[in-house]
Structure 1
Amino acid sequence: MHKHGSYIRVRLPDATGLRTVGGYLTYRVTAKDAKVLLGIDGLETGEENLAALRAVKKHYEHRVESPLPSPVDQRTRGIGGAVRAYATSTLTGHGFKKGTAEGSAVWAERMFLAWLQLLTSDPIPDIETAAAEQAAIIEQAALTDEPGG
């Protein structure tokens, strides 16, 4: 519990291939809603974490919507000092002030197990290389977006 609600965070097992980048799943309940987040925070910079999460999203993008019981927010961003990156699914109207703890717990369990099954059924063989490739794509896009570039 903390001032914004309660949460449970679980580091992902080696079988997912995301342990080396600090992969974790978090279930968070706030006053208004419940969220399940797939996060990455094990690399040195926020940019590297964001690139690793983009590599995860690219690897699973064509499979992610069907096995998960709720859509995933496809935006990638850092939190705080841009150290962590995450993709999130939200169950609106199921926060602790809504009196729907049981429904959000069932949803979170389904989301959590679906993510675990997806990540362990087809792990990314070399997440560091995939993240480096995504970082290069991001850097190249930034260079071409610069004025006069």
Structure 2
Amino acid sequence: MTDLLQVLPDFNARPYTHLLPSLDKALITTNDLLTLEAADVAKRAQLPAGELRKLTDALVSALHRSLGFGGEEAAGNSFLAGLGSPEASNSEWGCISTLDEELDAALGGGVPRGYLVEVTGESYSLPFCWLLNCLLRTAWPNQQSTSLPRPYSQPLA
């Protein structure tokens, strides 16, 4: 658990201080706690499995809070909470349009800002061009405005 403060610097470990020395001694990392069964970790560290489950649950909820989804704030602020509502617009959720209405509808309004998205395709150029389009639309929020400086002056050849 020596990596706990690197993974979650604001985590309140006070309720679990009696577990941390044994976890350090057994060389159990935060990743181990999150991915392995509590019974296996309990055997390795010689700790009660119930206490480790409580620590793991606290770690998961702290990770969710640090990433912006989890707890009460998820219902009000999460991008995914608004996908089902028809009144959600691209500007409300900060989506980047793909310029394809069907794809935007499938994505719930476009590509959400602040999320990692993997784009794959048959060739290298198609996903690259699509990604470049999204980047330009992000850097240039209002395409009708000519008073804003353009992100580039020459078209790509």
Name which structure has the greater RCO, CA cutoff 8 Å, separation 6+.
1
Assess same fold via TM > 0.5.
no
Higher share of residues assigned strand: 1
TM-score (norm. length: structure 2):
0.26
The structure that has the greater radius of gyration is: 2
TM-score (norm. length: structure 1):
0.27
